[in-house]
């Protein structure tokens, strides 16, 4: 394997300098160039042929999202967005993911502290280098692809819970799955590896696209049919139960599998409190977070689904889960919603 060739695109000279210095110390990564704006970046992409690009959103001459859309159309490459994710910026970051970015990383407020995020940046660059970059296609109307849930199923599945975990490439995968669910689907819990301020905008975006309600989870929220709860960035989300009522606990805690929120944390709690009433789904992502938790769910009697390799952006988490025997059913992304309904 050759070193991962990285092009840094950022209008801040200080950021470009620190990124170059920090990444150049990392074995397996080679910074082949930097660019202060998309016009310079365009020429360097052709000349230097980078494997991965780090891209800021707010830049002179052309904003990062406009450039990203052009890049994905004419010269697709794995892109890691590195931006200051204010609540406003979170929406821009979501647009970037939808336009083809593989990963998003929150830039510290002060340029001198950028070096503190080195390990996260390294991990996301390595994940991006393994990603399959696909052409962006227009989305069909939700109603044309919605999965029908039999009427009698609602009464039978009042106390069922669907737990879904994802990482790299997961935001688009989740959109594909959640937009196909009918409003009568059992309650859904989602952990997507995301930084703070990102999950609020992500949940709002999905809520506008789906037939179900989607919201960022708050401590004590009930798990209800027709509603998906997204774990907040930097907080773990656990399923709890009080009598027949399922609800979530949102709390701080140590990193699990280097992540917070962690898919394993959600899946372990779901195995404990829902047992055979649960369905677990593990989607695209780098690493192994969720694999052991999904195994625990299956051992507790839950039905489990793993995304197949061909449709994953990074076939890491589903692969590890499959190797452990945690996956009962392997399915392509465009079939996962139907498989969930079949299990319901």
Q: Which of 10, 56, 193, 236 is catalytic?
A: 193
Which residues, listed in sequence order, are joined to residue 238 by a DSSP beta bridge?
Answer: 249
Paired with 306 in beta bridges are 282, 330
Instruction: State the Cα–Cα distance between residues 267 and 265, nearest whole angstrom.
Output: 6
Catalytic residue list contains 24? no
Do the bridges between strand 236-242 and strand 245-251 make them parallel or antiparallel, or are there none, so unpaired? antiparallel
What tokens does 151 get?
Answer: 């009427």
Q: Tell me whether strands 187-192 and 227-230 are parallel, antiparallel or unpaired.
A: parallel
2 is catalytic: no
Q: Cβ neighbours of residue 298 under 8 Å, at least 6 residues apart?
A: 280, 304, 325, 326, 327, 328
DSSP 79-136: EEEEE---HHHHHHHHHHHHTT-SEEEEPPSSGGGGGGGHHHHHHHHHHHHT------
Which pair of tokens denotes residue 336?
A: 């996962």
Catalytic residue among 83, 99, 106, 167: 167
Q: Which residues pair with 246 in a beta bridge?
A: 241
- Which residues, in sequence order, are CB contacts of 280 under 8 Å at separation 6+? 163, 164, 165, 267, 270, 293, 294, 297, 298, 302, 303, 304, 305
Q: What is the residue whose two structure tokens read 């990603």?
A: 131
Active site residue 193: yes
* Residues acting as catalytic residues: 167, 193, 289
């Amino acid at each position: 394997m050759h070193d991962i060739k990285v092009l840094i695109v950022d209008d801040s000279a200080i950021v470009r300098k620190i990124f170059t210095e920090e990444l150049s110390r990392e074995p397996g990564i080679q910074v082949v160039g930097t660019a202060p704006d998309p016009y310079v970046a365009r020429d360097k992409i052709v000349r230097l042929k980078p494997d991965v690009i780090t891209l800021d959103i707010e830049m002179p001459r052309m904003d990062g999202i406009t450039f990203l859309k052009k890049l994905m159309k004419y010269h697709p490459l794995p892109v890691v967005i590195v931006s200051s994710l204010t609540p406003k910026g979170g929406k821009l970051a979501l647009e970037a993911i939808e336009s083809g970015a593989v990963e998003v990383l929150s830039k510290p407020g002060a340029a001198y502290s950028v070096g503190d995020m080195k390990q996260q940046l390294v991990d996301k660059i390595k994940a991006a280098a393994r990603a399959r970059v696909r052409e962006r296609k227009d989305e069909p109307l939700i109603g044309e692809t919605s999965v029908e849930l039999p009427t009698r199923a609602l009464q039978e599945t009042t106390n069922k819970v669907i737990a879904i975990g994802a990482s790299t490439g997961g935001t688009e995968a989740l959109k594909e799955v959640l937009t196909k669910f009918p409003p009568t689907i059992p309650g859904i819990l989602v952990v997507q590896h995301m930084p703070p301020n990102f999950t609020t905008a992500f949940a709002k975006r999905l809520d506008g696209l789906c037939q179900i309600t989607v919201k960022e989870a708050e401590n004590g929220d009930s798990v209800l049919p027709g509603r998906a709860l997204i774990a907040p960035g930097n907080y773990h989300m656990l399923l709890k139960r009080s009598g027949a009522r399922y609800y979530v606990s949102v709390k701080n805690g140590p990193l699990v599998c280097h992540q917070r929120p962690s898919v394993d944390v959600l899946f372990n709690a779901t195995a404990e409190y829902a047992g055979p009433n649960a369905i677990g789904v593990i989607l695209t992502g780098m690493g192994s977070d969720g694999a052991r938790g999904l195994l625990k769910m299956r051992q507790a009697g839950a039905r489990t689904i793993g995304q197949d390799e061909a449709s994953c952006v990074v076939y890491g988490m589903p692969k590890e889960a499959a190797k452990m025997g945690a996956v009962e059913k392997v399915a392509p992304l465009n079939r996962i919603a139907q498989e969930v309904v079949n299990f319901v």
